[in-house]
A = this chain, B = another copy of it.
């Protein structure tokens, strides 16, 4: 399947590669010669060769340079600096920096799920599992955690070995069973790739789908900037479709159609539709009916569907807005849609688990061409394997303790406690935002974020302009400097031109939440008073 790598390195091919692909004589300056003749060159050559660094922002990869990524951009960089400053300087007017810029629950002291970490810890130290240690071990670990670690190690071997590049087969089998149980339709472990977080899976799929710079991808606005950044990096065409804020960030298929037609009229070779469900940064959860329309649309327009479903258990209105996977809805639609191509992404970083630091997730390929699957495997091979510690958490997430297991009561209680608290915090923060002058905020149906709209006084807009900032960036930077709360301006996610938003997680600890809301209220009042028209 894979041909020899280095054909191009044999002499004849090497030459053909060079002769074919390169047309112009090089004028790369040589440092030693340049030094000897520098003064002469400066006299005779009006645009002398560059001196100094070989690698500069001028000579680097232009697509990397152009790529933008706000979630860890200017605001978080300033927040980090403030956080360092706080260690020695108590005069900032706040006690801590609160990182609401990113869904990173354990950074804000959310406790990990006990069973998961017990198993992970035993897998790291198989010596503990020796029979001679068992009595001591049972004082520290429940029997089902020990049994799970033993089962995993039996199937993994050592967690220090590269695994299969698609991920450990036993774990992919468990993922397939999880999907079958969730959806009621079959899943095949061979169609599942374990990945280093959902981000790595998204990157691979977008890359393989990009034939050239006309290859077009529909992405939501507002969107998680992983998509715009990755599309920029592979030089694909971004075709935005707007979510409707007045309909709780709903998705209208008519708008998709309009966006596709317009892009095709302009020459785009439309390849795929990206849906984030539940939405990031917007928190909406799609109805099953809407999902059917979306699948019909993709099928009729010949678009591969990319379903980012990493927030599938962060569902806050389970009765009116339950989660359905696109795989499930597609499977329910019968023969006519049986060839619809779909990639679905999941992650250990979200849900009630929040195991962001270990970088784990999976990608399910539905109706993807077998030869393309081989290519995906080849790409996975180059980076050898997803990290095994992340893979183990994928196993635990998709195959947690069940009723009857020793650890089930604690597992259930931990999950429920986090879940109920997230609902309360999302409601409280939305209430806080809606109580503020000039701010409106939809409730979160899912995910970990609110995305309130700001109406800013003209004087604030002018002040932002003076500082060379977008108005929402100026508002967020002012908030950070006044309160230590770091959020991300709407311009980082995209928004209807002329509107202003920001994204905030509702992840600060619940016992700090009243203070957190009060600080925001005070800042907002002061800001609005300062810039009153």
Which positions 13-59 of chain A face chain B at CB distance < 8 Å?
Answer: 14-15, 17-19, 21-26, 28-32, 52-57, 59
- Chain B residues with Cβ below 8 Å from A200 are 383
Tell me if B494 and A6 are in contact (CB < 8 A): yes
Q: With contacts A196-B383, A228-B8, A230-B382 known, is A375 near B341, CB below 8 A?
A: no
Q: Which residues of B contact A367 (CB under 8 A)?
A: 53
* CB-contact partner of A68 in B3, B64, B300, B387, under 8 A: B3
Q: What 5 additional pairs, Cβ within 8 angstroms, besides A1-B74, A6-B228, A24-B214?
A: A18-B262, A21-B213, A64-B207, A199-B383, A387-B389
Q: Which residues of chain A from 164 to 202 have a CB within 8 Å of any chain B CB?
A: 164-165, 196-197, 199-200
The answer for the CA separation of A3 and B379 in the assembled complex, in Å, is 31
- A21-B213, A114-B127, A491-B5 known; A497+B11 contact, CB < 8 A: yes
Q: A157-B107, A270-B26, A299-B31 are in contact. Are A494 and B9 (CB under 8 A)?
A: yes
CB distance B57 to A1 under 8 Å?
no
Q: Which residues from chain B contact A473 at a C-beta distance below 8 Å?
A: 4
Chain B neighbourhood of A264, CB < 8 A: 25-26, 28
Question: Could you tell me the distance in whole angstroms from the C-beta of A475 to the nearest C-beta in chain B?
Answer: 13
Tell me whether B68 and A9 are in contact (CB under 8 A).
no
Q: In which size bucket is the chain A interface? A: 35 or more
8 Å CB contacts to B: which residues of A248-270? 262-270
Q: Give the docked Cα–Cα distance between A15 and B237 (Å).
A: 11
Q: Does A151 contact B (CB under 8 A)?
A: no
| B357 pairs with A385, CB closer than 8 A | yes
Measured between alpha carbons, how far is A492 from B493 in the docked complex, in Å?
Answer: 43
* CB of A65 within 8 Å of the partner chain: yes
Q: Tell yes or no: A226 within 8 A of B by CB.
A: yes
Given contacts A239-B18, A240-B14, contact A6 B221 (CB under 8 A): yes
Q: Flag whether A82 is at the interface (Cβ < 8 A).
A: no
18 A-B residue pairs with Cβ-Cβ distance under 8 Å, sorted by A, are A2-B74, A5-B493, A6-B494, A9-B221, A14-B238, A19-B266, A21-B213, A22-B237, A25-B267, A55-B209, A55-B271, A61-B210, A64-B378, A65-B375, A72-B381, A109-B158, A121-B125, A163-B357
When A161-B104, A300-B31, A384-B356 are in contact, do A57 and B24 touch as well, CB less than 8 Å?
no
Q: Is A333 located at the chain interface by the 8 A CB criterion?
A: no
